[in-house]
Structures are given as C-alpha cells and as structure tokens.
Amino acid sequence: MFNRISSLVLGIAMFMVFMGSARGGNEFYIFLFSLAILLVAALAINIKRLGFSWPQLLLPLVYIIGVGCIFVVITSPFLRTIFLGVASIVLFGLELQLGRESHYLQNVYLFSVFAWFLGLFAINFYLDLSTFWTVLAGFLASYFLIVQGFAGFSLPAKKYFNFIVALVCGQVTYGLLFWPTHYLVNAVVLFSVFYLLWIFSFSAFFGKLSIKKIYWQMALVFLVLVVTLATAAWEPLYS
C-alpha cells in the first residue's frame, strides 16, 4: 500500500511542482529550486522503500531530471500540461516497477537518456556555452548514463565499455556542434549513437548479440536518422 501511495504522491508532486514553477517570476531559478526539492523527496521515499540500492535509487532521479530538460524547452502552456500529465503517469509506473527487472524500466531509462542529451544541446544553444564545456558535459553525462545503463550486474569489462561509450559520445558531441541543425536533431543523432553502443554492449555481456540483431538495430537507427535529417530545417552555412 505504501508503494502505491508514495508512487502516486510523487507523480502528482512532479506535475504540481513543475507547473507551479512555470507561473512565477524568475521562472528558471524557481524551476531549479523546485526540481531540487522534488529530487530530494523522491530519493527519501525510495530509500525508505528499497534501502541504499543505488542503481534503483538513481533511475527516478535521472528520469525526473530528464523530464525537466524537456519541460523547459516546451514553450506552449498547453503542450507543457499534456507532456507533464503523461510524464507523471510514467513516473507513477516507474515507481511501482522499481526494484524489478522489466522492459518498462529500460524504456524509461532510454527516454531519460534522450531527454538529457536534448537538455545538453538546448543549454548549449540558449546559453551559448563554449565548445570545451559542452563536450566535457557530453562526456560526463554519457559516462554517468552508461554506468546507470549497465547497473545491476558485475562484470570486469564494464569499466572499459563505460569509458569507450563516453569517449565516443564526447567525440560525437564535438562533431555535432558544427552541424547547422536544431538542437533537437543533434540530440536524436547523439542518442542514436549512444543507443547502438548500449544495446550492442548489453547484448554482448549476456551472449545475446547476433548478426541478425546487429542488422535489425542498425536498420532501425538508420531509418530514424534518415527521417530526422530529411525533415530537419538546416541552417544555411553562409548568409
């Protein structure tokens, strides 16, 4: 009963906190403060439920931050409300599933990864960060996210894969900064690279990587990239 009630409370709290933060002055600072309060509350509730099981404790925090990244780039109040409503329901389901192995949690994790990358490129776009800090943030975020993605099992080779995935994503981040595309397009491309590295590594760890799976996943990502790039509004290189 406590699990259901606490899950419902967190879902409602995220909706109310984010929507409330969007209605005051100094919106961004209010949002950051509200986000911090929500993260502390989620951590406290889940520690009571699960103890100090860090992979399980971190996933809701990663998800909430990801929701925040998308929330701040949505400008329409109506779309913000719809997005937060759906995101709050997903958080409710996440909290109910927490502590178990499920495809639902994997999907939430992958959504969170994309949201973090979207936030990374949005921050670079709006705050005009230097290339160095953006690439460093891309590397560190990718490292943290891949460590979370490989959590739950012990394997000595994981530490090498963690570094390789983060290094590749850092390099891709650097290259994407020179693309004349919207930050949403950049996030999709970086996520696609991260996803392939994660799914191939994860499958290899458990002996489930096959030629058929490689072709299928690469074809899926290729289709996503073709649709994304073909419909993107490319900026002219020269004015």
The per-residue DSSP string of 145-213 comes to HHHHHTTTS--TTHHHHHHHHHHHHHHHHHHHTTS-S-HHHHHHHHHHHHHHHHHHHHHHHTT---HHH
Instruction: Give whole-number Cα distances, 53 to 41, 57, 152, 155, 170, in Å.
Output: 16, 6, 10, 18, 29
pLDDT reading at 104 higher than 60: yes
pTM: 0.90
Does residue 18 belong to any structural domain of this protein?
yes
pLDDT at 1: 67
Last residue of a domain, one of 100, 122, 142: 100
Residue type, 83: F
The pLDDT score that the predictor gives to residue 61 is 92
The answer to whether position 23 is within a domain reads yes
For residues 80 and 146, state if they share a domain: no
Q: Rounded distance, CA 198 to CA 102, Å? A: 17
Q: Does 135 map to a domain?
A: yes
Same-domain pairing of 93 and 149:
no
Does 78 fall in a domain? Answer: yes
Last residue of a domain, one of 82, 100, 118: 100
C-alpha 229 chain-centroid distance: 21
Can you give the residue range of the structural domain that contains 38?
Answer: 1-100
Secondary structure class of 101 (helix, strand, coil): coil
Q: Name the more confident of 125 and 49.
A: 125
Residue pair 68/19 in contact (Cβ under 8 Å)? The answer is no
Q: Burial letters for 212-233: b for 16+ Cβ neighbours within 10 Å, e otherwise?
A: eeeeebeeebeeeeeebeeebe
Which distant-in-sequence residues (6+ apart) come within 8 Å of 174 by Cβ? 131, 135, 138
pLDDT band with cut points at 50, 70 and 90 for residue 239:
very low
Cα–Cα distance for residue pair 26/161, rounded to 1 Å:
41
Q: What is the mean pLDDT of residues 4-27?
A: 78
Which DSSP string corresponds to 207-230? T---HHHHHHHHHHHHHHHHHHHH
- The answer to which of 48-62, 139-153, 187-201 has the lowest mean pLDDT is 48-62
Does 121 map to a domain?
Answer: no
> Do 105 and 98 form a contact (C-beta atoms < 8 A)?
yes
| 145, part of any domain | yes
Q: Are residues 91 and 143 in the same domain?
A: no
Same structural domain for residues 138 and 199? yes
Whether 149 is covered by a domain: the verdict is yes
Domain co-membership, 19 together with 83: yes
Looking at the domain assignment, is residue 202 inside a domain? yes
Give yes or no: residues 82 and 168 share one domain. Answer: no
Same domain, 6 and 96: yes
- pLDDT tens string 167-201: 999 999 999 999 998 899 999 999 999 999 999 99
For residues 90 and 174, membership in a common domain is answered with no
- Give the Cα separation of 31 and 77 in Å (integer): 15
Average pLDDT for residues 138-159, to the nearest whole number? 87
Let me know how long the chain is. 239
Contact at 8 Å (CB) between 138 and 170?
A: yes
The residue from 51, 77, 100 where one domain ends is 100
> In total, how many domains does the chain have?
2
